[in-house]
Structure 1
Amino acid sequence: MPSKHLSSQYHTELVHLSTQLLEMGGLVEAQATRAISSLRRRDPAILPALIEDECRVNVMERRIDEALNKIIARRQPTARDLRLLMATSKCTGNLERAADEARKIGKRADRISADPQARAIDLSEVLIAGGLALDLLRRALDAFARMDTVAAAQVTIDDQAIDAQFRAFTTRMVPYMSANPHAIAVALDYMFIAKAVERIGDHAKNIAEFVIYVVEGTDVRHAKKRTTVCARS
């Protein structure tokens, strides 16, 4: 949460903004949980609820953007306050995109639910990745609420486990499709679902990185990639 200010009204505005973001995050977390759960049960009936949730997420995103614009116009924030507002805007965008990914999971699952080939495919890696992505999203939001850089840094590290599960699943699907050409369409749908799960984890990692940015003023996005590129130059 924001640090205390001399202006109690300003502080209240910042707290309210952070509360709105966390409420939006809770909705996205619930939406992603529904999507992963429907995938585990192979139940497409959840799709209408996912679409309704996404509409609510979009409304919340617009409200947060409006509140951000008003605070910036009235308060002309600097230093940590400005970083907080910038991070809130970025986190809102990441939450909206995570909601999009949850909807994609629901739509793909709905499309292939009647295909008998769907149940023949082992989704163990995707379901493990889904559980990890949900855990990362919850922890990233908790780190934002407490501005806990240690917890946020751990989220950025743990995202690698989701990437590993995604790679394992896609690697396994290649020979499976070669051996079962009649199941290629379903296998590709599940690969798209696996990618959507992986992207939810990425959005959680992004939120965690912005916690570090707010508190420490350091942009750690793509830091490892930049270091690798510089080392090769």
Structure 2
Amino acid sequence: MENMHLDQHISKQFNTDLEKLRTAVLEMGGLVEGQLADAVKAIETGSMRLAEKVQETEDEVNQYEVNIDAQCTEVLARRQPAASDLRLVLIVSKAIRDLERVGDESSKIARMAIELSDEETDPDGFVELRHMSSNVQKMLNAALDAFARFDVPAALKVMREDKHVDREYKSAIREMVTMMMEDPRSISRVLNVIWSLRALERIGDHARNIAEHVIYLVRGTDVRHISIKEIEKQLDQDQ
């Protein structure tokens, strides 16, 4: 865990403002994690109730984004933060956008669950869907944990895992295409699974984004569009 201190300002209120931002992100993250878990369970079980719950939660997630953005604007206007404090405010603003997108993708999965709820048996591709959803949920949890602890090594681990999820997604899509070619009657069902897999892959990308934000927050190093090896080399040079 890196050294990031939110309690060393002359103004106690400034300390409180920064801690509130951090806490709000984690609260929003917990809500989104639950939304994703419910969406995946809905598609696995065919539960209309869970799918509807996911879609209803979207409004709450959106409100979190609006409220936290307003808090960020207020801190910037009143405190005029510099250095790492400024990075924290900027990263919070970016992280909540990624979390809101995760909520959007979870809602898409919930819609696919509703489409598939009439199936008498699990459609082709559910094995791939379950496995990929498990990995993506772990990624999102790890990214939020890295943010909570300002943990650069943990953030790098999330970024490495994203590569694995991308490979898993491509492999699953090849399987789905083969299934549709072998049985054209399955096309409609399998397409719903493909859209769900695509949503999961995008959620993995947003988890990676959050991990990148953590590295920028702690080290001040912009690691977007850079390979993992280059990031590790750059971080070693910055130490």
Same fold judged by TM-score > 0.5? yes
Measured in 2, the distance between the counterparts of 1:76 and 1:147 equals 22
The reply to whether residue 14 of structure 1 matches residue 15 of structure 2 is: no
What letter matches 1:183 in structure 2?
S
User: Could you say which residue in structure 2 is the equivalent of 1:175?
Assistant: 178
The reply to whether residue 49 of structure 1 matches residue 60 of structure 2 is: no
Instruction: Decide whether the 8 Å contact of 2:43 with 2:116 is kept in 1.
Output: no
1:173–1:198: structure 2 CA closer, same or farther, 3 Å change rule?
A: same
1:95 corresponds to which of 92, 96, 99 = 99
SS at match of 1:138: helix
2:147 corresponds to which of 129, 138, 144 = 144
Q: Deviations over 1:63-117 (max 9, x none)?
A: 001100000001111111111111100000000000000000000110122145x
SS at match of 1:119: coil
Q: What's the C-alpha RMSD, in Å, of the aligned pairs?
A: 1.6
User: Could you say which residue in structure 2 is the equivalent of 1:72?
Assistant: 76
User: Could you say which residue in structure 2 is the equivalent of 1:125?
Assistant: 128
The reply to whether residue 160 of structure 1 matches residue 163 of structure 2 is: yes
2:202 corresponds to which of 199, 202, 209 = 199
User: Could you say which residue in structure 2 is the equivalent of 1:25?
Assistant: 29
Measured in 2, the distance between the counterparts of 1:222 and 1:109 equals 33
Measured in 2, the distance between the counterparts of 1:163 and 1:109 equals 22
Instruction: Decide whether the 8 Å contact of 2:125 with 2:190 is kept in 1.
Output: no
What letter matches 1:216 in structure 2?
R
Q: Displacement, 1:2?
A: 4.6
Instruction: Decide whether the 8 Å contact of 1:2 with 1:15 is kept in 2.
Output: no
Work out the percentage of aligned pairs sharing the same amino acid: 40
Measured in 2, the distance between the counterparts of 1:37 and 1:115 equals 15
Measured in 2, the distance between the counterparts of 1:92 and 1:9 equals 23
Q: Deviations over 1:147-166 (max 9, x none)?
A: 01111111111112211221
Alignment TM-score, normalising by the size of structure 2: 0.90
Q: Displacement, 1:7?
A: 1.6
User: Could you say which residue in structure 1 is the equivalent of 2:222?
Assistant: 219
SS at match of 1:223: coil
User: Could you say which residue in structure 1 is the equivalent of 2:234?
Assistant: none
Instruction: Decide whether the 8 Å contact of 2:123 with 2:189 is kept in 1.
Output: no
Instruction: Decide whether the 8 Å contact of 1:25 with 1:141 is kept in 2.
Output: yes
User: Could you say which residue in structure 2 is the equivalent of 1:37?
Assistant: 41
Instruction: Decide whether the 8 Å contact of 2:142 with 2:158 is kept in 1.
Output: yes
Unaligned residue ranges in structure 1 (runs of 5+): 228-233
What letter matches 2:193 in structure 1?
Y
1:103–1:218: structure 2 CA closer, same or farther, 3 Å change rule?
A: same
Alignment TM-score, normalising by the size of structure 1: 0.92
Give the total of aligned pairs.
225
What letter matches 2:134 in structure 1?
G
Unaligned residue ranges in structure 2 (runs of 5+): 231-239
